[in-house]
Structure 1
Amino acid sequence: MIAFERNGLQFDFRASGIVIHCDHVLLVRIEQFPSWFLPGGHVEIGELADAAMIREMREETGMSVEIDRLVWVVENFFTLDGKRHQELGFFYLVTPPPEVTQLDVGKEFYSKEENGTPLIFRWHRLDTLKDLNIFPSFLKTGLCALPTSITHIVQRDPTD
C-alpha cells in the first residue's frame, strides 16, 4: 500500500467509491470512530487507483462495481488520534451490481479490513447527510450535487 510517515506526517494514497442507489449513498465507519466515510482503501504500488477502488469494494462489501467516472481528486489534511495526515484521494462514481435492488435503510452490515479492523456499512439517505458526522466534511453537500467534471478539492481540518 502507498502509505508512509515522514517528519511526523502520515501520507496515504486512497481510492474511494461513491455508490448511490435510490437516493441513498453507501457509507462506512470503523467501529471505534464516529465518522462515516466512503468505502475504499489504499492504492498498492504499481496499481491503478481505479483498480484499487474496485478491489477494495469487492474485498470490503462483496460488491463488484463498475466505474462510471472520476468525480474528485482530493488533497485532505487532517489530524486523527493526535497524528497529522496528508491524504491524496481519488473518488469514483460507481454503478452497483444489479442485485443491489433492495436497501435495508438504517440496517448496518459488517465486514473487516484485511488487518482485522471491524467495518460498519450503512446506506444513508442523501437528504440526511447534512446532519451526519461524515469525513471529509465536503461530502455532506458534495454527494448531493456531484460535479459534472473532475473537480480538485483541498480539504483542511480546522485543527490542521
Structure 2
Amino acid sequence: MDISFKMGDEKFNYRVGAIIISNGRILAMSHDKPSEYYSLPGGRVMMEETAEQAMIREVREELGVSLKISRPLWLNQSFFTKDTDGLRYHEICIYFLMDTADAGLLERQNTFTRTEGTDTHIFKWLEIAQLKDETFYPLFLKKEIFNLPDTFTIRTESR
C-alpha cells in the first residue's frame, strides 16, 4: 500500500525521485503521450519499505533496469495545488542521484517508451542547459541541477 492519503480537499504523498544524469543530460519522463510537462522517474513509497528500496523498485518497474543509488541529494517538502484534481498537496520526496554504470540505460535512444502495467511512460534525455525552457517538475531542479549538494539537504517549495 502506497503511503498516500486524502483528507477532504488535501492529499499527502511520500515519494522518491531518481536523478539520472549522463553527458550533460537528465532522464525525464512524461505519461501516455508527449506531455505538456516532464518529471523524474520515481513514485510513492509503500508501507514498510525504505526510501532506498522504493527508489530501486520504481526504477526497475519504470525503466526495466537495476540501478544503484549513488547518494541521496534532497528531501523536498512541497506544497502545491494540482490543476487536474484541484487538491492541495503536501508531498515529501527524497531525490536520489543514481549510478548508471552497467545498466545499459545509456545505450537507449534519446526518446524511448516503456509500459508499466496499463501505463505508458515516455522517457527523454533532456539537455540540462535547456531544462529552464521546459515545463519540468520539481521546479527547484531547474536551478539546483547545476549545484548538486555535497551533503543530504532538506528544502521546501511552495507554489
Q: TM-score, length-normalised on structure 2?
A: 0.89
Q: Measure how far apart 1:113 and its partner are.
A: 4.2
Q: Measure how far apart 1:63 and its partner are.
A: 1.6
SS in 2 for 1:50: helix
Q: Deviations over 1:120-140 (max 9, x none)?
A: 111111111111111121111
Q: Deviations over 1:4-62 (max 9, x none)?
A: 00131111100111111111111112236522111001100000001101100000001
From 73, 76, 84, give the equivalent of 1:74. Answer: 76
From 39, 54, 57, give the equivalent of 1:55. Answer: 57
What's the counterpart of residue 100 of structure 2?
Answer: 96
Runs of 4+ in 1 over 6 A off after TM superposition: none
Task: Number of aligned residue pairs: give it.
Answer: 154
Q: Deviations over 1:106-154 (max 9, x none)?
A: xx2222444x232211111111111111112111111122111111111
What's the counterpart of residue 113 of structure 2?
Answer: 110
Are the structure 2 counterparts of residues 4 and 112 from structure 1 closer, same or farther at C-alpha, using a change threshold of 3 Å? Answer: farther
Residue pair 1:63, 1:97 contacting (<8 A) in 2 also:
no
Task: Tell me the amino acid that sits aligned with residue 18 of structure 1.
Answer: I
Q: TM-score, length-normalised on structure 1?
A: 0.89
SS in 1 for 2:62: helix
Task: Tell me the amino acid that sits aligned with residue 132 of structure 1.
Answer: E
Q: Measure how far apart 1:78 and its partner are.
A: 1.3
What's the counterpart of residue 27 of structure 1?
Answer: 28
Percent identity among equivalent residues? 32
Q: Gapped runs of 5+ residues in structure 1? A: none
Residues 1:2 and 2:3 are matched in the alignment: yes
The separation in 2 between residues aligned to 1:62 and 1:17, in whole angstroms, is 14
Residue pair 1:15, 1:90 contacting (<8 A) in 2 also:
yes
Q: Gapped runs of 5+ residues in structure 2? A: none
Are the structure 2 counterparts of residues 68 and 84 from structure 1 closer, same or farther at C-alpha, using a change threshold of 3 Å? Answer: same
Are the structure 2 counterparts of residues 102 and 111 from structure 1 closer, same or farther at C-alpha, using a change threshold of 3 Å? Answer: closer
Q: Deviations over 1:53-100 (max 9, x none)?
A: 110000000121111111000111111112211111000001014223
**RMSD (Å) for aligned C-alpha atoms:** 1.6
